[in-house]
Amino acid sequence: MDFFTLSGLLPAAIVLLIALVCANYFVRNLASTQSHEFASIDGLRGLLALGVFLHHATYWYSYASNGNWNFYSSGLYMSFGHASVNIFFMLTGFLFSLKLIDGRTREIDWLKLYCSRVMRLTPLYLCLVLAVLIIVAIDTHGRFNEDAFTLLGEIRSWLLFTIPGHPDINQRLETHLITAGVIWTLPYEWYFYLILPSLGLLIGTRNKAGSSVWITMSMLCVIFFSAWQLDIMMFIDFACGGAAAAIVRNHRMRDSLRGPAANPAALACLIVGYTCFDYGSLPCLFSFATALTLLACGANLYGFLSMRPIRALSAVSYGVYLLQGVVLHVVFLYVVPDELRTPGLTEHRYWGIVFIATVVLVGVSALSWRFIESPAIDAAPKLAKWLSRNSSSAPEHRKIRNYREFFQKIAAKRQHRLLTRNSFKKSAQGEQQSSSVTANKKNHKELA
């Protein structure tokens, strides 16, 4: 019996083992994963990113040999990709809904929050775009197939996290497949971040002074939702995460969900969600939301999510998720000789290449965490402080804290101008009257 098939679980287990060993060896700084209030659910991130990697790796079985982006594996490997993204969105909804709920008792500094998001997502993404441009230049042999204006417009769309779309660059067909298509989730993440101030208004979140600009921007995003061209059904995932956050912040419900039955229940919900339901269906989402709630209430899958290799893989999960397409592209097309890929790629050779790609991916992700992501995360508070300090030292007309103060200043200035104008008219009339009286007296003296 051959266990190394496209749908076999043994290769997936080997990939997981390789990733955990490499992450435990490569990743040294785990301070950010230890201080989190819900460190156990953070352990899911690395496993989810690796699941997406396994999902996309199966496409390369056909793409590497004949150029067709087709899926030839089982439904479980399909769920490794789509269902894992569902849980990713739930985690985002959970963590930031917690911020909104906690914001009812303490003010939210939106400038600091958005600086943290920019510094968390942008630096590595810019590196990804640079890698895509290099691969495009190699594949197009360094020729310009388009005029400069069109080429710059395509690059601009990619630099904006493909929110305007992900056009092919320099007529390189299916440019987005260089990233394995993972970039489609980024506009959803950014849209959710941008509408947070509007959601905060609904639940009574307290905002720090000067938040009017963020609230206005958030409302505009809500109003012009159609311009983003997003699937509104995907936001059910974020809503499920928000519901889990509401349960966790209810201490009575949180205590009731703790206990010896929490770990087996959470594990069962994850298994059922991945294997028994179609990804994205309501029963599937309910299973994952239940598992997330149990994990947030204290379950850690019998300590598995608290192990150091799991936390190390979680620390580099953004790199594993974002860079997997580039690593698979380079390993399959540039590193592996053509005679091993064509005319037919055997399943044993395919899994051997995937094992090598796993080592490369975790290693590159560890380097990006060490030299790109972690320094950027540490610099986020400094950036927020610098921006706040510079805005506070701006001219008086830029120190408007809210709309009420703005219109009050306009009304006060207008009233001051009216009073000044009236006093000027009165003084002018007084001077005119006094001059006329003086002239009359002079005329009387001349007549006398």
Provide the pLDDT confidence category of residue 188 given band limits of 50, 70 and 90. Answer: very high
User: Under a CB-based contact definition with an 8 Å cutoff, are residues 354 and 97 in contact?
Assistant: no
The domain limits of the chain are: 9-394, 402-448
Q: Where are the alpha helices (DSSP H) in 67-159?
A: 75-102, 110-139, 148-159
Q: What is the pLDDT of residue 210?
A: 77
Q: Which residue has the higher pLDDT, 402 or 110?
A: 110
What is the pLDDT, as a whole number, of residue 36?
A: 64
- Mean pLDDT (whole number) for 79-85: 94
Q: In this predicted model, what pLDDT tens digit does every residue of 421-440 receive, in sequence order? A: 666 566 656 656 666 556 55
Question: How does pLDDT run across 100-154, given as a tens digit for each residue?
Answer: 999 999 999 999 999 999 999 999 999 999 999 999 999 999 999 999 999 999 9
Rounded to two decimals, the pTM is: 0.86
Summarize pLDDT for 172-185 with one digit per residue, the tens. Answer: 999 999 999 999 99
> What pLDDT does 296 receive?
93
Alpha helices per DSSP H over 281-371: 282-296, 308-315, 317-330, 338-341, 347-368
% of residues, the chain, pLDDT over 70: 85
Among 51-60, 142-151, 174-183, 333-342, name the one with the lowest average pLDDT.
333-342
Mean per-residue pLDDT for 246-254? 93
Residue 128 contacts residue 179 (beta carbons within 8 Å): yes
Q: In 10 A of CB 172, how many CB atoms?
A: 19
